[in-house]
């Protein structure tokens, strides 16, 4: 991935989505050569010169101060995820040396696996920024059984396995979220070889992925509801929380739960009983 192109395309797409009316600017005339704001309008909103803004939008964030980044975020109306992505891009641009493109070996500390195993009533797993599932508890493997039929990577499952569109009842929204998560990870780790290979594979094999990837959208994915169609119990809705493991760089623990006494809770208990029986039979 070309880091300067990442910066350029991100800023260009953010500028293009804002109309002068939304920014509180007068829109003179009816014909505009560009969608959204012009560069000089974006520069004015960010409180910088047009020449300086043009330099930023051409992909040069080296030496940019935090105050300029904040002004740029306000001027382009970035949300929390987009602001975080802008800072990630700036951090990479200001590193003194480009790191080697290393492949990383996934590893989860034993104490983290013990924690997962202690969560007997909540399906849970640990993933990295590339959406590889590195560890899970028994109930997590049972609830997300279709994902674990191959090497468990959520992005590959969502875009390359036809079963995903039946398993995830809100597949399209989830798929867009997956692309946005990978886009954010690309800003944090532009030289991660495994990430680059994954994005290349998905872009080559999935037209939907290519289309959404070009939008340069990023999102935070910390809590919400997953609506599944489980092969054993049918429809299932689970609330989830995604929590950073602060002692492990770039790892998150995702845990799911159902409303106590609800049909979803009963279905979850049935899956747990089935998983326990399967473990005993093995």
Residue 129 structure tokens? 């920024």
Exposed e or buried b per residue across 37-63, where buried means at least 16 C-beta atoms within 10 angstroms of its C-beta: bebebbbbbbebeeeebeebbebebee
Q: Are 205 and 159 in contact (CB under 8 A)?
A: yes
Closest CA to 25 of 66, 61, 75: 75
Each residue's pLDDT tens digit, 162-197: 999 999 999 999 999 999 999 999 999 888 999 999
Range scoring the smallest mean pLDDT among 56-70, 84-98, 196-210: 84-98
pTM: 0.88
Question: In the structure, what pLDDT confidence band is assigned to residue 280 with cuts at 50, 70 and 90?
Answer: very low
How confident is the model at residue 22, as a pLDDT? Answer: 84
Tell me the C-alpha to C-alpha distance, in Å, between residue 249 and each of 49, 63, 194. 38, 26, 16
pLDDT number for residue 266: 95
Catalogue all structural domains in the chain, each as residue range(s) with its CATH number: 3-93 (1.10.260.40), 110-281 (3.30.450.180)
Tens of pLDDT, residue by residue over 111-160, are 999 999 999 999 999 999 999 999 999 999 999 999 999 999 999 999 99
To the nearest whole number, what is the mean pLDDT of the chain? 90
């Amino acid at each position: 991935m070309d880091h300067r192109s990442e910066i350029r395309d991100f800023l260009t797409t953010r500028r293009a989505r804002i109309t002068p009316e939304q920014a509180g600017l007068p829109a003179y005339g009816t014909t505009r050569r560009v969608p959204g704001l012009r560069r000089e309008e974006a520069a004015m909103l960010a409180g910088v010169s047009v020449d300086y803004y043009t330099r930023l939008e051409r992909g040069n964030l080296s030496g940019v101060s935090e105050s300029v980044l904040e002004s740029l975020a306000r001027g382009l109306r970035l949300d929390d995820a987009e602001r975080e992505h802008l800072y990630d891009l700036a951090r990479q641009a200001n590193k003194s040396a480009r790191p080697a493109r290393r492949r990383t070996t996934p590893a989860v500390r034993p104490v983290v696996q013990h924690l997962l195993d202690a969560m007997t009533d909540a399906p849970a797993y640990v993933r990295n920024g590339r959406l590889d599932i590195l560890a899970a508890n028994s109930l997590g493997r049972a609830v997300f059984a279709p994902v674990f039929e191959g090497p468990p990577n959520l992005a590959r499952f969502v875009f390359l396995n036809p079963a995903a569109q039946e398993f995830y009842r809100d597949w399209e929204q989830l798929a867009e979220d997956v692309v946005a998560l990978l886009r954010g990870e690309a800003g944090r780790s532009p030289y991660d070889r495994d990430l680059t290979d994954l994005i290349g594979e998905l872009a080559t094999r999935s037209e939907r992925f290519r289309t959404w990837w070009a939008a340069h959208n990023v999102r935070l994915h910390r809590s919400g509801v997953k609506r599944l169609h489980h092969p054993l119990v049918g429809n299932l809705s689970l609330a989830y929380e995604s929590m950073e493991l602060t002692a492990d760089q770039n790892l998150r623990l995702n845990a799911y739960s159902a409303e106590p006494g609800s049909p979803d809770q009963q279905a979850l208990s049935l899956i747990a009983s089935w998983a326990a029986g399967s473990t005993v039979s093995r």
